[in-house]
């Protein structure tokens, strides 16, 4: 079981961690149960590890995922996209079967 | 659709659909071109281009066979071969009736037959079907909506749509209907010159030392002319007066050149296609004369030869002189209404493509005694300002900026002798409400006819008729004893509702009239349903999605309110509110939009007292340390 | 007065409530509608005077028709109307004549306004006199509007 980040996403995460003044912190990826199709993604800074956390590394960035979320997130790749009107991290999750019109929440 | 996330602080991830940034846009629905703009990732507004990099979408809609619809540049091309199936400048028909158009001397006959439509509004006969100007406008808006959703990466959560400041109630209502028909949630209708001022004012004054000033916005577009006088002070854009002509613009310049070309051609009875070719030539000539002193006008003839004549800039300026000068009268009146002399202005801003015409620039400079400002693209500035206002209305960022607008035309009632009694005069700040008392003139009179009109003239026949209705059930009384109170309300979009009530007897006989032009709410819903090609299932999903988004928004707002002003509630009251919110949360689990909507309105009712208390607290805070005397 | 008006607008304008509940949106609309009405009433001396008269409860006793019939008032009205009718828009001096009429009207308005200030400043307000003053001011305002229309004809004529 694993999750990963693209080079671009890792680059951006590194910039943001540095700007925040915590270059050594990790990035937490998770899911929460809300939204119009059931589940939605979470992306947060992680200064401390929790008991059930699993760790991964992509292009020099540490990623932590709690055990429950990992079941849903296995195989997910996080990319970073930027254009004139939108920029942010994008989740590509092979397990998703259905997502709401806005892509903000999904079902597996 | 891809959803993009930012990295949040631990535990601070936002609930879905309650995220800090909403996808909203500003739309300039123009006579000849339409644009959509949004806040860019750099922080400023930008127009959203199509796949070929073009921002301006020609406001042209072509109706092909089999219900196929083509919008934009492709439609413009098709206009040459199929003028009878291609509709342009539809904005000039918005909210207008057939008779009214026929009486209007400035109304040029379009290449398609017009008919009387529902609600007294004009309808267009395009080859195999009848369409209303509202539907045609909705087609243009749908294209812009789709373009924006692709660029912004998700469905739009709201739009500001601009209208000419001088648009009357029917024209505004028609614009709002078109937006709803296109599936847009209208956050606000904003006047074009005010939107332009927002785009300009920001760039110049935010953070600067001098944050105060009086400005005139001179907005001459493809089909409409507006002028607004604004006071800009500490981020508040207060419109002092506005004026205009909703049937004057670059189209009329084209028409003058067209007439000249037809005269020079010396042919009579040109068919639709030839006329369309001449129209295109007229437009190209006008545009070329912006920079050139003389322009050749080649026109291929059916016999294979090419007809050729030239037009000089000075000839063009003679042709349009009276049109340009007619804007001066409007500007002078607006300045006078604002109580301002031209020399008190800090600047005059040019907006609209027709202000590129050198003769217009010269005239504005002469009129206001100064060189006008035009450093922002006059075609884009309205859409950019609208995008900024949409961002503010969506609450995407904290800002002290505020737009305060006025009614462009007086609103009144018909009284004895077909005279107009003004109830809300022009240039009244909106939202506004005003009541007028009337009485019966016959003994035992049990009904009273109420005729609502808009305009500045004294005679009813010279004003725009907005609505007619009857107040019935007046108890029998002697003439002059009844007291009928007619209340006019204009909301923040500049839209009117009228209510009438008999007061003396305590009998609640009240009628509320929203002037309706062609389309009722039910009809719009019906058309939306029909337009959804994916059938009933998708419709249900869409309604469910909308209901859930709304529920989440309401819950989010309530949580914020409880956090900020929770002390206004007793423990029992708080439990009541929490219980109501809990019921709404539960209803979210059942996939039924009606249930959810019911709980949303129930929660709203059950928290009315809380909203009222919060409002009172806000007012007290705002008035602290001030006395009534300060306002006298 | 501009400052509190703007502060209240900033706090309560419907634009600030777009994302709130239906009730809050309605309350905001109501509050700002009142605010706009108050702002306009306070800003305009005639509207303010009419409002004070109404609030005094003495307005009902005033006979508007009798005010219309007062000989001095009638004489004034007739003189002004005649003078305006005599302005021929084809006359090259028309604009000057109109401006002198406007100066006269402005003077009358200034006099009435001064009278109103004195009347409202008195310890015991003579509401009958206030009503007379309001009535005359209202007429002068309408006369100004009539002059505006003639002026617009003149503007139109010379572009």
Rounded Cα gap, residues A102 and C53, in angstroms: 59
Q: Which of B521, B541, B573 is the last residue of a domain?
A: B521
Answer yes or no: is B76 within a domain: no
pLDDT band at A102 (very low <50, low <70, confident <90, very high): low
Residue B476 at interface with chain C, using a CB cutoff of 8 Å:
no
Chain C residue with minimal CA distance to B401? C10
User: What does the pLDDT read at residue B631?
Assistant: 34
In the CATH hierarchy, which top-level class contains the domain A4-107? mainly beta
Annotated active-site residue B192? The verdict is yes
Q: Say whether the B–A interface has 3 or more Cβ pairs within 8 Å.
A: yes
Q: B 232-261 residues with CB below 8 A of C?
A: 233-234, 236, 238
Q: Nearest-CA neighbor of B386 among B159, B205, B200?
A: B159
End-to-end CA gap in chain C? 38
User: What does the pLDDT read at residue C47?
Assistant: 92
Annotated active-site residue B548? The verdict is no
Q: Are strands A26-33 and A61-66 parallel, antiparallel or unpaired?
A: parallel
- Residues from chain A contacting residue B1 (CB–CB below 8 Å): 99, 101-103
Rounded Cα gap, residues B13 and C68, in angstroms: 71
Annotated active-site residue B456? The verdict is no
Q: What is the CATH number of the domain that holds B551?
A: 1.20.1270.10
Do B449 and B470 belong to one domain?
A: yes
What residue ranges do the domains of chain A occupy?
A: 4-107
Q: What are phi and psi of A27, to 5 degrees?
A: -115, 130
Asked whether the predicted pLDDT for residue A51 surpasses 50, the reply is yes
User: What does the pLDDT read at residue B505?
Assistant: 72
What DSSP assignment string belongs to C80-148?
Answer: HHHHHHT--TTSTTHHHHHHHHHHHHHHHHHHHHHHHHHHHHSSS--HHHHHHHHHHHHHHHHHHHHHH
With beta carbons less than 8 A apart as the criterion, state whether C79 and C93 touch.
no
A81–B4 CB contact, under 8 Å: yes
Rounded Cα gap, residues B273 and C24, in angstroms: 56
Answer yes or no: is B541 within a domain: yes
Do B506 and B422 belong to one domain?
A: yes
Calculate ∠ Cα B183-B189-B191, nearest 5°: 140
What DSSP assignment string belongs to C57-76?
Answer: T-GGG--HHHHHH-HHHHHH
Q: Nearest-CA neighbor of B162 among B10, B34, B293, B330?
A: B34
**Which chains are within 8 Å of A by 3+ CB pairs?**
B
Answer yes or no: is B218 within a domain: no
**Which chains are within 8 Å of B by 3+ CB pairs?**
A, C
C23–B553 CB contact, under 8 Å: no
Q: Nearest-CA neighbor of B372 among B335, B342, B338?
A: B342
Q: What is the CATH number of the domain that holds B416?
A: 2.60.34.10
Distances (CA, A) of B566 to B218, B558, B583, C24, C49: 48, 10, 19, 16, 43
Q: Nearest-CA neighbor of B372 among B195, B218, B202, B164?
A: B218
3-state DSSP of B534-576: CCHHHHHHHHHHHHHHHHHHHHHHHHHHHHHHHHHCCHHHHHH
Beta-bridge mates of residue B307: B299
Q: Are strands B45-47 and B33-39 parallel, antiparallel or unpaired?
A: antiparallel
Q: Strand, coil or helix: what is B374?
A: coil
**Which chains are within 8 Å of C by 3+ CB pairs?**
B
The two structure tokens encoding residue B37: 């703009």
What is the average per-residue pLDDT within C56-62?
Answer: 79
- The contacts of residue B415 (CB under 8 Å, 6+ apart) are B421, B438
Q: Which of B487, B521, B555 is the last residue of a domain?
A: B521
Q: Strand, coil or helix: what is B238?
A: strand
Annotated catalytic residue: which of B50, B219, B251, B414?
B219
Structural domain boundaries, residue B508: 411-521
**Residue ranges in chain B whose pLDDT is less than 50:** 17-18, 202-203, 206-209, 534, 627-632
Annotated active-site residue B604? The verdict is no
Nearest CA-CA distance, residue A1 and chain B, Å: 23
Q: Are strands B33-39 and B57-58 parallel, antiparallel or unpaired?
A: antiparallel
Beta-bridge mates of residue B216: B229, B348
pLDDT band at C123 (very low <50, low <70, confident <90, very high): confident
Nearest to C21 among B233, B430, B557 (CB): B557
Do B540 and B511 belong to one domain?
A: no
Rounded Cα gap, residues B409 and B453, in angstroms: 10
User: What does the pLDDT read at residue B594?
Assistant: 85
Chain C residue with minimal CA distance to B427? C40
Rounded Cα gap, residues B59 and B136, in angstroms: 9
Nearest CA-CA distance, residue C5 and chain B, Å: 9
User: What does the pLDDT read at residue B65?
Assistant: 79
B394–C18 CB contact, under 8 Å: yes
Q: Which of B521, B540, B570 is the last residue of a domain?
A: B521
Answer yes or no: is B609 within a domain: yes
Q: Report the length, in residues, of chain A.
A: 108
Whether ipTM exceeds 0.85? yes
Q: Nearest-CA neighbor of B98 among B63, B127, B60, B133?
A: B133
Please tell me the total count of domains within chain B.
2
Rounded Cα gap, residues B157 and B149, in angstroms: 10
What is the average per-residue pLDDT within C67-72?
Answer: 80
Do B547 and B580 belong to one domain?
A: yes
Rounded Cα gap, residues B423 and A98, in angstroms: 56
A36–B40 CB contact, under 8 Å: no
Q: Phi-psi region for residue B325, left (φ > 0), alpha (ψ -120 to 50) or beta?
A: alpha
B608–C23 CB contact, under 8 Å: yes
Which of the two residues, B290 and A38, has the higher pLDDT score?
B290
Beta-bridge mates of residue B61: B71, B87
Nearest to C21 among B402, B430, B611 (CB): B611
Beta-bridge mates of residue A4: A77
């Amino acid at each position: 079981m694993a999750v990963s980040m693209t080079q671009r996403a890792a680059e951006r995460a590194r910039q943001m961690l540095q700007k925040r003044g915590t270059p050594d912190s990790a990035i937490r990826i998770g899911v929460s149960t809300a939204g119009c199709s059931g589940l939605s993604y979470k992306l947060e800074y992680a200064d401390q590890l929790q008991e059930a956390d699993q760790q991964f590394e992509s292009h020099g960035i540490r990623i932590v995922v709690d055990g429950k979320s990992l079941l849903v997130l296995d195989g997910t790749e996080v990319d970073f996209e930027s254009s004139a009107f939108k920029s942010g991290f994008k989740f590509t999750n092979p397990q998703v079967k259905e997502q709401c019109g806005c892509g903000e929440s999904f079902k597996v | 659709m891809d959803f993009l996330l930012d990295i949040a602080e631990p535990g601070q991830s936002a609930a879905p659909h309650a995220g800090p940034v909403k996808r909203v846009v500003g739309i300039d629905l123009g006579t000849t071109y339409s644009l959509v703009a949004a806040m860019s990732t750099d922080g400023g507004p930008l127009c959203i281009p199509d796949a070929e990099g073009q921002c301006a979408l020609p406001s042209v809609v072509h109706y092909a066979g089999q219900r196929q619809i083509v919008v934009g540049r492709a439609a413009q091309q098709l206009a040459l071969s199929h003028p009878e199936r291609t509709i342009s400048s539809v904005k000039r028909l918005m909210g207008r009736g057939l008779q009214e158009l026929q009486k209007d001397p400035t109304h040029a006959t379009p290449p398609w037959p017009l008919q009387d439509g529902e609600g007294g509004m004009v309808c267009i006969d395009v080859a195999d079907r009848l369409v209303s100007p509202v539907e045609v406008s909705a087609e243009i808006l749908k294209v812009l909506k789709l373009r924006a959703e692709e660029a912004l990466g998700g469905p739009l959560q709201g739009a500001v749509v601009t209208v000419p400041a001088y648009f009357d109630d029917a024209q505004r209502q028609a614009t709002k209907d078109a937006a709803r028909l296109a599936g847009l949630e209208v956050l606000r209708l904003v006047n074009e010159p005010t939107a332009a001022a927002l785009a300009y004012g920001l760039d110049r004054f935010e953070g600067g030392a001098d944050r105060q000033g009086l400005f005139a916005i001179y907005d001459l577009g493809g089909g409409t002319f507006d002028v607004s006088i604004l006071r800009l002070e500490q981020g508040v854009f207060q419109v002092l007066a506005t004026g205009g002509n909703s049937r004057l613009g670059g189209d009329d310049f084209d028409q003058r050149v067209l007439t000249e070309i037809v005269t020079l051609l010396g042919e009579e009875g040109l068919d639709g296609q030839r006329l369309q070719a001449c129209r295109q030539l007229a437009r190209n000539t006008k545009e070329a004369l912006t920079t050139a002193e003389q322009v050749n006008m080649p026109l291929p003839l059916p016999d294979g030869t090419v007809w050729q004549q030239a037009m000089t800039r000075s000839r063009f300026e003679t042709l349009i002189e009276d049109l340009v000068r007619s804007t001066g009268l409007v500007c002078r009146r607006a300045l006078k209404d604002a109580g301002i002399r031209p020399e008190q202005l800090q600047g005059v801003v040019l907006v609209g493509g027709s202000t590129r015409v050198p003769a217009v620039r010269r005239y504005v400079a002469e009129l206001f005694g100064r060189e006008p400002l035009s450093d922002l693209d006059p075609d884009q500035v309205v859409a950019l300002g609208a995008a900024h206002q949409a961002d503010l209305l969506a609450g995407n960022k904290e800002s002290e900026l505020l737009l305060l607008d006025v009614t462009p035309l007086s609103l009144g009632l018909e009284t004895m002798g077909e005279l107009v009694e003004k109830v809300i005069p022009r240039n009244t700040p909106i939202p506004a409400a005003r009541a007028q008392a009337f009485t019966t003139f016959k003994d035992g009179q049990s009904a009273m006819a109420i005729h609502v009109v808009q305009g500045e003239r004294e005679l009813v026949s010279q004003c725009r008729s907005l609505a007619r209705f009857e107040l019935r059930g007046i108890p029998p009384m002697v003439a002059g004893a009844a007291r009928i109170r007619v209340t006019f309300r204009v909301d923040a979009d500049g839209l009117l509702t009228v209510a009438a009530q008999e007061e003396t007897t305590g009998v609640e006989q009240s009628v509320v009239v929203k002037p309706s032009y062609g389309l009722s709410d039910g009809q719009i819903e019906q058309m939306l349903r029909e337009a959804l090609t994916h059938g009933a299932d998708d419709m249900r999903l869409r309604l469910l999605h909308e209901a859930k988004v709304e529920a989440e928004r309401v819950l989010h707002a309530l949580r914020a309110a409880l956090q900020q002003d929770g002390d206004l509630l007793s423990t029992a009251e708080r439990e009541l509110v929490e219980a109501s919110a809990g019921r709404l949360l539960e209803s979210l689990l059942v996939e039924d939009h009606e249930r959810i909507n019911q709980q949303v309105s129930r929660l709203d009712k059950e928290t009315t007292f809380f909203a009222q208390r919060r409002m009172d607290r806000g007012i007290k805070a705002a008035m602290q340390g001030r006395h009534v005397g300060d306002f006298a | 007065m501009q400052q509190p008006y703007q502060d209240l607008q900033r706090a309560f304008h419907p634009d600030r409530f777009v994302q709130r509940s239906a009730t809050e949106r309605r309350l905001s609309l109501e509050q700002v509608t009142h605010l706009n009405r108050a702002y306009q009433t306070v800003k305009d001396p005639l509207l303010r005077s009419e409002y004070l008269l109404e609030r005094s409860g003495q307005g009902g006793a005033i006979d508007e028709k009798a005010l219309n019939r007062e000989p001095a008032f009638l004489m004034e009205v007739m003189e002004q109307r005649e003078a305006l009718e005599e302005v021929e828009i084809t006359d090259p001096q028309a604009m000057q004549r109109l401006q002198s009429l406007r100066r006269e009207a402005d003077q009358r308005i200034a006099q009435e306004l001064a009278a109103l200030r004195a009347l409202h400043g008195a310890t015991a307000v003579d509401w009958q006199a206030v009503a007379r003053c309001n009535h005359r001011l209202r007429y002068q305002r309408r006369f100004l509007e009539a002059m505006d229309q003639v002026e617009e004809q003149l503007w139109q004529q010379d572009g």
